A and B are shown apart, each in its own frame.
Chain A
Amino acid sequence: MKHPLAGKAIVFYISAWAVVIAAHAVLLYYHYQLPLSISLADAIVSNAFLAGIGLSYWYVVQYVSPESQGISGVIFSHVLGAAISALLVVYGASAVLSGFFSGDENYQILVDVSFIWRIIINAFFLALIIMVYYLLRYNNNLRLKEQEELQLQGMLRHSELEMLKFQINPHFIFNSLNSVSSLTITDPDKARDMVIKLSDFLRSSLGTQSPEKHSLKDELAQMQLYLDIERVRFGDRLTSVHEIDPACLGMALPNMILQPIYENAIKYGIYEQLEGVEIKTTCKCEDGNLKISVSNNYDSEGAPQKGKGIGLKNVRNRLELTYGTMGLMTIEKEKTIFTVHLLIPQSPEK
């Protein structure tokens, strides 16, 4: 840490000493009836020494800390240090002053008599300065720690978000590639189309430069790619319907937040029943916020296979991390319809 008085604060330090010097001079001049020149000279010389030592005490404070020496060690070092410093300052100042004004007898007597008092007052001033230095240092450390903590939290949140972002099932990728492999035999044009769609989708979701958030319009385009790819795999067993209020197309939402919801709908819809699945997406603006509902038909009698619900949990965690509010995702289970509702806040964000 830099010397706290290195900047503008030095003005404050000097003015504080100016006040002390003035008081000192006034005391000598009125109370002890000394000549003005002597009063001023005494005040300036004895306090300027102290002010100089006070400035350099910062470096002592840097090396004497309770962390390394314990509280009692620190107090001991400083009491001893301050006493010696005060003694030297007073001794030095007195020698200079009495040598200079050797003709004034009253003054000589005063210097002798006040010797011990001067030491005590100087030591007191030094103690005050040391305490202020410690306070400043403590305050600075606290601020640094807070900053570090904040930074750490930010990093943690970022990595958590990164982890939650890419949750595409490897199953999806390999099955899609298998479809491509099949299409190269029967329909090369469609195979090429599928490869391009798969690439576009992976690029937008895998890319490190892909934004944390984007517009609903981008999200829906991305999800259209995903659903198109899945439709190549599942054929007419998968249908999707969209009901989008054009007014909310520009609203922002986390990148790929809908993908786990669609994946879940397809899993439930395709793997747990023999009929096809219809996925319905509704987007509305409500009170300035974006409201998205994705529903699919499912077989409530079916005993589900393993691994369900992880994707949805990720969506919930991601929303919580991004917006700092709970309960943005709700699930509604009716007899044959399963719906996921998302509420995406628009302006105030964390």
Chain B
Amino acid sequence: MIKALIIDDEKLARDVIRAYLKDHPDIEVVSECANGFEGVKTIHEVKPDLIFLDVQMPKLTGFEMLELLDTVPVIIFSTAFDEFALKAFEQSAADYLLKPYSKSRFNEAISKARQRLTGGGDKELVAKIQESREGAREELDRLVVRLGSKIVIISLDKVDFIEAQDDYVAIHSEGKKYLKQLTMKYLESSLPENQFVRVHRSYIVSIGSIDRLEAMSKDTYVAILKSGAKISVSRAGYSSLKEVLNF
């Protein structure tokens, strides 16, 4: 038996999936979710094998949801119209359904999903989607992190700086620190470049949070943030700062 979860904010859209699934008695819909928050919670609770995921949803988009999952099931995306999402799908080879879709197109997606289910899930999918979104130069406008069972949406203007920590990044915002599995490279290219500067191999800093710069030695500087935090600035970082701030 394949455990499936449907995540879509429109009931009628969920109904279609349920109706089309009648032809697949070995797939059991264990639950339905109407938003991303619920989706993340339910995925961790019921550990489905397969999810049907809408991209545009209240609070959390389908993509943001994926970033918050510990284990990623096999996913069939659906979207009505979103050029960025389509680009991401095409480049990451994830299967997606364009609403409205036919039963035969749906069955095709199901058979592809079955192949991936035996192949061990969509572990690499998240990274691939991230990569393709990076390639699409889609600017981020907020960050979503998980704190235990709580989901926190951090608006970019509340981010002080971001620090690399092994496979993770630590996002420092309003005196708190949130860990998220992202690469510095992805963040550097996806954060608005007039607002964030990579000042060091391990640091991306929000320009608005910088209080002053102090020289440490001949070639190295340190940025003192309004919060009091001190961040090393490399030579390359110093010249990028110079460029953005025009000094």
Residue positions of A touching B, CB distance < 8 A: 169-171, 173-175, 177-183, 185-186, 232-235, 270-274, 302-306
State A58–B19 Cα separation when bound (angstroms): 85
State A178–B153 Cα separation when bound (angstroms): 29
B27 within 8 A of A: no
B178 within 8 A of A: no
Please judge, given known A-B contacts A274-B37, A303-B141, whether A182 and B58 are in contact too, CB under 8 Å: no
Please judge, given known A-B contacts A272-B59, A303-B155, A304-B141, whether A177 and B12 are in contact too, CB under 8 Å: no
Pick the most buried of B16, B58, B142, B154: most chain A CB atoms within 10 A of its CB: B58
State A28–B58 Cα separation when bound (angstroms): 102
Given A171-B81, A274-B35, A303-B142, 13 other A-B contacts at CB below 8 A? A169-B81, A171-B80, A171-B82, A175-B10, A179-B13, A182-B12, A182-B13, A271-B58, A274-B58, A302-B59, A303-B153, A303-B156, A304-B142
Contact B12 A183 (CB under 8 A): yes
Contact B61 A178 (CB under 8 A): no
Contact B11 A235 (CB under 8 A): yes
Report A-chain residues with C-beta under 8 Å of the C-beta of B156: 303
B100 within 8 A of A: yes
Write the chain A residue with the least CB distance to B153. Answer: A303
State A186–B18 Cα separation when bound (angstroms): 11
Write the chain A residue with the least CB distance to B16. Answer: A182
Nearest first, the 5 closest Cβ-Cβ pairs linking A and B are A303-B155, A174-B80, A178-B99, A181-B100, A182-B12
Please count the residue pairs between chain A and chain B whose beta carbons lie under 8 angstroms apart in the complex. 80
Write the chain A residue with the least CB distance to B138. Answer: A306
Report B-chain residues with C-beta under 8 Å of the C-beta of A170: 80-81
Q: Can you offer 21 A-B residue contacts whose CB atoms are under 8 A?
A: A171-B80, A171-B81, A171-B82, A174-B80, A174-B99, A175-B80, A178-B12, A178-B100, A180-B100, A181-B100, A182-B12, A182-B15, A185-B19, A232-B12, A270-B9, A271-B57, A271-B58, A272-B58, A274-B37, A274-B59, A303-B142
Contact B100 A177 (CB under 8 A): yes
Report A-chain residues with C-beta under 8 Å of the C-beta of B37: 274
Write the chain A residue with the least CB distance to B14. Answer: A182
Contact A185 B16 (CB under 8 A): yes
Whole-angstrom distance between the Cβ of B173 and the nearest chain A Cβ: 11
Report B-chain residues with C-beta under 8 Å of the C-beta of A181: 16, 99-101
Number of B interface residues at 8 Å Cβ cutoff, please give it: 29
B56 within 8 A of A: yes
Residue positions of B touching A, CB distance < 8 A: 9-13, 15-16, 19, 35, 37, 56-59, 61, 80-82, 98-101, 139, 141-142, 153-156
Partner of B19, one of A175, A177, A186, A235: A186
Whole-angstrom distance between the Cβ of B87 and the nearest chain A Cβ: 15
State A235–B100 Cα separation when bound (angstroms): 19
State A78–B10 Cα separation when bound (angstroms): 82
Report B-chain residues with C-beta under 8 Å of the C-beta of A175: 10, 13, 80, 99
State A303–B100 Cα separation when bound (angstroms): 29
State A171–B100 Cα separation when bound (angstroms): 11
Write the chain B residue with the least CB distance to A271. Answer: B58
State A303–B9 Cα separation when bound (angstroms): 19
Whole-angstrom distance between the Cβ of A202 and the nearest chain B Cβ: 16
Report A-chain residues with C-beta under 8 Å of the C-beta of B19: 182, 185-186
Contact B16 A270 (CB under 8 A): no
Report B-chain residues with C-beta under 8 Å of the C-beta of A179: 10, 12-13
Contact B61 A234 (CB under 8 A): no
State A272–B153 Cα separation when bound (angstroms): 11
Report A-chain residues with C-beta under 8 Å of the C-beta of B100: 174, 177-178, 180-181
Report A-chain residues with C-beta under 8 Å of the C-beta of B57: 271
Write the chain A residue with the least CB distance to B10. Answer: A233
State A174–B80 Cα separation when bound (angstroms): 5
Contact B58 A270 (CB under 8 A): yes
Contact B141 A186 (CB under 8 A): no
State A181–B103 Cα separation when bound (angstroms): 11
State A39–B105 Cα separation when bound (angstroms): 106
Report B-chain residues with C-beta under 8 Å of the C-beta of A177: 99-100
Report A-chain residues with C-beta under 8 Å of the C-beta of B10: 175, 178-179, 233-234
Report A-chain residues with C-beta under 8 Å of the C-beta of B16: 178, 181-182, 185
Report A-chain residues with C-beta under 8 Å of the C-beta of B11: 235
Contact A273 B81 (CB under 8 A): no
Pick the most buried of B12, B101, B154: most chain A CB atoms within 10 A of its CB: B12
State A171–B154 Cα separation when bound (angstroms): 26
Write the chain A residue with the least CB distance to B78. Answer: A178
State A232–B13 Cα separation when bound (angstroms): 11
Report A-chain residues with C-beta under 8 Å of the C-beta of B153: 302-303
Whole-angstrom distance between the Cβ of A203 and the nearest chain B Cβ: 21
